Amino acid sequence: MRRGADRLSLLGRATAVLRERGIPFAVIGAAAMAVHGVSRATRDLDLLAVGPAALEPDTWRDFRATGVEVQIRRGDADDPLAGVVRLSAVGEDPIDLVVGKAAWQADLLGRATESRIEDVGLPVVDRAGLVLLKLYAGGPQDAWDVEQLLTCPERERVAAEVERVLPLLPPEAWHLWERVRHAD
């Protein structure tokens, strides 16, 4: 069996369910960064979706029946996310489906472009969208990721797109953006 085939199986099943249910999604995190030329080691695969259907237990019922552990964590009213669905199975790399609730996050899904990840055609958030998600998350690793994502020939175009959407994000995202932009 080819390396990664187990994860492909879980990934293929998860994305098929999202598509069947009409839940828009896109790859984010380290896998999306790799598509954009930035490598970072991680075992899990992160997806972004927007909307409550992704958090419904019925969406993932068939996974539980086949031995896949499904953890659904809903955010409260003050949480910046609607929730997270974690899919994991013995011997397979986990998948984290981050469920957003903001209009700007939904817009990122609309701009995602198709790419092949481990032989599966998947929508991937664009470079500016990844920067926005990293600024929104705001951790030390995220700051490094933003710096790496901005190391590209289209830096000014990416920065302009980020600054167009940035007013929709919390002030902490602005502060991180200013810190990263002035670190040059």
Name the residue range of residue 141's domain: 126-184
Mean pLDDT across 147-169: 96
Count the domains in the chain. Answer: 2
Are 91 and 6 within 8 A, CB to CB? yes
User: Do 159 and 79 fall into the same domain?
Assistant: no
Per-residue pLDDT, 65 = 86
Are 1 and 8 within 8 A, CB to CB? no
CA 131/CA 135 separation, integer angstroms: 6
User: Do 86 and 159 fall into the same domain?
Assistant: no
User: Do 99 and 156 fall into the same domain?
Assistant: no
User: Do 96 and 168 fall into the same domain?
Assistant: no
User: Do 30 and 116 fall into the same domain?
Assistant: yes
User: Do 31 and 71 fall into the same domain?
Assistant: yes
Are 137 and 30 within 8 A, CB to CB? no
Judge whether residue 66 has pLDDT over 70: yes
Please give the sequence-ordered ranges of beta strands (E in DSSP) within the chain, or none if there are none: 25-28, 45-50, 69-74, 83-88, 95-100, 113-117, 120-124
